[in-house]
Amino acid sequence: MDENTRPWYTIDELNAWADNYQNEQWHKAAIRLGEELASVGPVGYYEMDAKEWLDWAMSTVQTRTWVGLTEEDLKPICDEWRIVYGAWMDDFARDIEAKLKEKNGY
């Protein structure tokens, strides 16, 4: 019986197959995601391993800075909702911003 058609495999053979399959799937996913992150990858992009790709991808992703609401942002919202803008409204808005920062890891 040919080795490729036998009905059983050793644990080592199955582990090797699984490792190879995972590496192939990771490589395909990494390439797809990398192409979404940047239209031009670094030299050697297609030969990168998972760690090299992740390091590159994380270095290219732009970090975003939190931008809070200004008084000029809040006043039209208060007008629209017929709320008198004042110190309590500003405190309320800052409390909401603080909770959003907490939930979004800022």
| Contacts of 77 by beta carbon, 8 Å cutoff, 6+ apart | 83
C-beta separation of 24 from 1 below 8 A: no
Q: Classify 98 as helix, strand or coil.
A: helix
Per-residue pLDDT of the chain (106 residues; tens, 9 = 90+): 555 666 666 777 777 777 777 777 776 776 777 666 666 667 787 787 777 877 877 777 766 788 888 999 999 998 998 888 888 888 999 999 999 988 887 7
**pLDDT value, residue 73:** 92
pTM value is 0.42
Cβ–Cβ under 8 Å, residues 93 and 87: no
| Distance separating alpha carbons of residues 28 and 61, to the nearest angstrom | 19
